[in-house]
Amino acid sequence: MKETPLSNCERRFLLRAIQERKRLDGRQCYDYRNVRISFGPEYGCCVVELGKTRVLGQVSCELVPPKPNRATEGILFCNLELSPMAAPGFEPGRQSELLVKVNRLIERCLRNSKCIDTESLCVVAGEKVWQIRVDLHLLNHDGNIIDAASIAGIVALCHFRRPDVSVQGKEVTVYSPEERDPVPLSIHHMPICVSFAFFQQGTYLLVDPNEREERVMDGLLVIAMNKHREICTIQSSGGIMLLKDQVLRCSKITAVKVAEITELIQKALENDQKVRKEGGKFGFAESIPNQKITAFKMDSAAVDTSNVEEQAEEIITKADPPSEVFAKPILHTPGTAQIGEGIENAWGDLEESEREEAAEEEGESSATAFECQRTETEDTSMMSEAKDEPIVLSDSEEEEVVILEPQEEPKKTRPQTNLKQENTSKKAFNKKRRKKRASR
């Protein structure tokens, strides 16, 4: 772990405050920080808060072959993880000296103290036993990781339930929680660690040191004890020489703190079990304060479903019958339609400029139509006069004249000059129309 070193000014300030029996968070020398326990939605999951230090505990199990020298005993395995999420000084994927020390201490506290009956974890002697794995994850580091991890480990073990099994000959059947209720672990006692920090070669003593106090301490004494005042393990680090009276005083303080924490754990377990049976809020949702925006502020109300069919029939009888008359479509302009009341569209409405252009186009088209009709009448009159004469078709004045046979019936044709006039009039009309559009 790479810690940012404290400056000499900060170090002197902390030591001066400890000499004056003062602590930065306002506690006394022998005071313990507040312990808060919350459980997850599943058995064996918990979060323990020791001040601002938070540790997540999760217990899992699996069937494995036993150890060769202990064929009738189960296996208990503990693992602690220190991630950079808890403190920037922790390096991921690397076992630091602090991690190895804490892991060994937690393992001695939980496994070597025989707090769990490992023989009850045996399913088939020499073949299959339960392996209980305790995973501890540090979420936030504010000092005294050992105490928080030990509390989280024992709380998770007490809260855990393993699946029920049955053995018929050599066949082992593992039942799901829906088929049979899970079985709790057989726990004899609850070992809990209490840490003591010494300053100036043991002259001053603090209980439950925080992160800044751990940086300036000279040595650390950890005592693991249960509520029966049985010492499970003891460890001293830092190279300080402690007197017998100092160790005895620390053991007496540990007995008082362990009794308080054990009572708190038992109350938390009882409350969680009671809430799960009643079907109320449990797990992390229950631990959210009501003042938070993420809390569930609405209480669940019971719904009466006994008279649902009768109420539905009453509502149907009182309701008005559906109308069979359909609204007629409204025609605003040609090509549009609307059913009911809504916003009328203006697609059929023309602007003034468009109206003027349409009027001009209608006038010009009527003039050209009248001219074409006049030329057609002239052509028919000319054809009636020259019924007996042969018909002459000429594309231009320079081409030769072709005389058709007189026996064939005369055909109605339009002179070439009239076609040219009609084409010129259409070109003039299209040219005017393009000019008007370009001027817009």
Most trustworthy range by pLDDT among 10-24, 89-103, 151-165, 304-318:
151-165
pLDDT of residue 126: 87
Query: Cβ neighbours of residue 9 under 8 Å, at least 6 residues apart?
Result: none
pLDDT of residue 422: 62
User: What is the residue type of 40?
Assistant: G
Q: Which residue has the tokens 């496994």?
A: 111
Contact 253, 261 (CB under 8 A): no
pLDDT of residue 397: 45
Most trustworthy range by pLDDT among 198-202, 358-362, 408-412:
198-202
- In eight-state DSSP terms, residue 189 is -
**pLDDT at residue 342 tops 60:** no
pLDDT of residue 50: 92
Task: In whole angstroms, give the CA distance from residue 282 to residue 417.
Answer: 102
pLDDT of residue 361: 64
Each residue of 96-139: pLDDT tens digit? 888 889 999 999 899 888 899 989 999 988 889 999 999 999 99
pTM higher than the cut 0.85: no
Task: In whole angstroms, give the CA distance from residue 135 to residue 44.
Answer: 10
**pLDDT at residue 198 tops 80:** yes
| Mean per-residue pLDDT over the chain, rounded | 79
- In eight-state DSSP terms, residue 208 is S
Burial class, 71, CB count within 10 angstroms (exposed 0-12 / middle 13-18 / buried 19+): middle
Distances (CA, A) of 148 to 83, 197, 277, 418: 16, 15, 28, 110
Percent of the chain with pLDDT over 70: 69
Task: Give the mean model confidence (pLDDT) for residues 321-349.
Answer: 58
Higher per-residue pLDDT: 425 or 364 = 425
Contact 209, 143 (CB under 8 A): yes
**pLDDT at residue 78 tops 60:** yes
Contact 272, 159 (CB under 8 A): yes
CA-based nearest residue to 191, from 156, 230, 226: 226
pLDDT of residue 365: 61
Give helix 145-159 / helix 244-278 axis angle, nearest 10°: 40
Higher per-residue pLDDT: 397 or 175 = 175
Helix (H, G, I), strand (E, B) or coil at 286: helix
**What domains, with CATH codes, occur in the chain?**
30-273 (3.30.230.70)
Contact 413, 393 (CB under 8 A): yes
Task: Give the mean model confidence (pLDDT) for residues 250-260.
Answer: 94
Two tokens, residue 260: 């308080």
pLDDT of residue 231: 92
Which residues, listed in sequence order, are joined to residue 187 by a DSSP beta bridge?
116
Distances (CA, A) of 79 to 90, 123, 136, 150: 16, 24, 6, 11
pLDDT of residue 268: 92
Task: In whole angstroms, give the CA distance from residue 255 to residue 238.
Answer: 23
Task: Give the mean model confidence (pLDDT) for residues 207-233.
Answer: 91
Q: What is the chain's percent helix, strand, coil content, to nearest 5?
A: 35, 20, 40
Q: Which residue has the tokens 């809260």?
A: 159
Burial class, 185, CB count within 10 angstroms (exposed 0-12 / middle 13-18 / buried 19+): buried
| pLDDT band with cut points at 50, 70 and 90 for residue 429 | confident
Task: In whole angstroms, give the CA distance from residue 154 to residue 48.
Answer: 11
**pLDDT at residue 287 tops 60:** no
Q: β-strands 128-140, 75-82: how paired?
A: parallel
Torsion of CA 360, 365, 371, 377, to 10 degrees: -150
Distances (CA, A) of 56 to 12, 39, 153, 234: 35, 10, 9, 24
pLDDT of residue 158: 94
Contact 259, 31 (CB under 8 A): no
Sign of the dihedral through C-alpha 224, 230, 233, 238: positive
**pLDDT at residue 227 tops 70:** yes
| pLDDT band with cut points at 50, 70 and 90 for residue 277 | confident
Question: DSSP of 31-60, one letter per residue?
Answer: PPPPEEEEE-SSTTEEEEEETTEEEEEEEE
Strands (E), 83-153: 122-124, 128-140
Task: Give the mean model confidence (pLDDT) for residues 296-320.
Answer: 72
Burial class, 7, CB count within 10 angstroms (exposed 0-12 / middle 13-18 / buried 19+): exposed
**pLDDT at residue 413 tops 90:** no
Strands (E), 83-127: 122-124
Each residue of 382-399: pLDDT tens digit? 555 544 555 444 444 444
**pLDDT at residue 286 tops 50:** yes
User: What is the residue type of 358?
Assistant: A
pLDDT of residue 375: 61
Higher per-residue pLDDT: 78 or 341 = 78
CA-based nearest residue to 186, from 115, 133, 135: 115
